[in-house]
Amino acid sequence: MSFNRNDPVQLLELRNEIMNDLGGLGYPPIDEHTSGIVRVINDKDKGFVVQKPKISAAAVRGAVTFDAYNALIADAQEWLRWITGSNGVEEESLLVTADILQQLTGSPNASGSIWRLQDRSEMNAAMSALINVPGSRAEDMFGYGTYISGSDVNAARDM
């Protein structure tokens, strides 16, 4: 999902956010500082964490430790090779599905990941860090990669 200025529901959600400061970010007055609002709502240093819809298979392979990989059962090793083997570049093309989340990060069930008990906490965290990244309030509201422009803010203000 990303922000669509032509969607009245999303426009109202944006207006409500910047008028009432639902995220507690300290927006400047809406009728005075459009650029300040744009800067604040798109700032990735406000503590929001967003889930990427795709990750790089190469990054997954790079995050797996030798010991953790060797401790996997053969079926789990094969699955890991299978999901990461078709993409040898850094391109983010591995879709983050519920199965990927469960197997690699242990989300929602930590004990359900592919990692052996001795490696589980470290590897679940390493994989989670590839998927759950710092984001802005705009991304928190409307999805990874969303950028709210001055025109978006003005349209929300003027509705």
Do 38 and 80 share a domain, yes or no?
A: no
Asked if 128 and 148 sit in the same domain, the reply is no
Output 112-116 pairs: Cβ under 8 A, ≥24 positions apart.
Answer: 114/72, 114/76, 114/79, 114/80, 115/68, 115/71, 115/72, 116/68, 116/71, 116/72
Q: Any idea which residue has 């709210």 for tokens?
A: 148
The reported pLDDT for the residue numbered 89 is: 58
Domain residues for the domain of 102 are: 51-134
Whether residue 77 sits in one domain with residue 126: yes
Counted domains in the chain: 2
Residue-level pLDDT, tens digit, the chain, 159 residues: 689 999 999 999 999 999 998 888 999 887 678 999 999 999 999 999 999 999 999 899 999 999 999 999 999 999 999 888 854 556 788 899 999 999 999 999 888 899 999 999 999 999 999 999 999 999 999 999 999 999 999 999 998
Q: Note whether residue 2 is domain-resident.
A: no
Residue 33 placed within a domain: yes
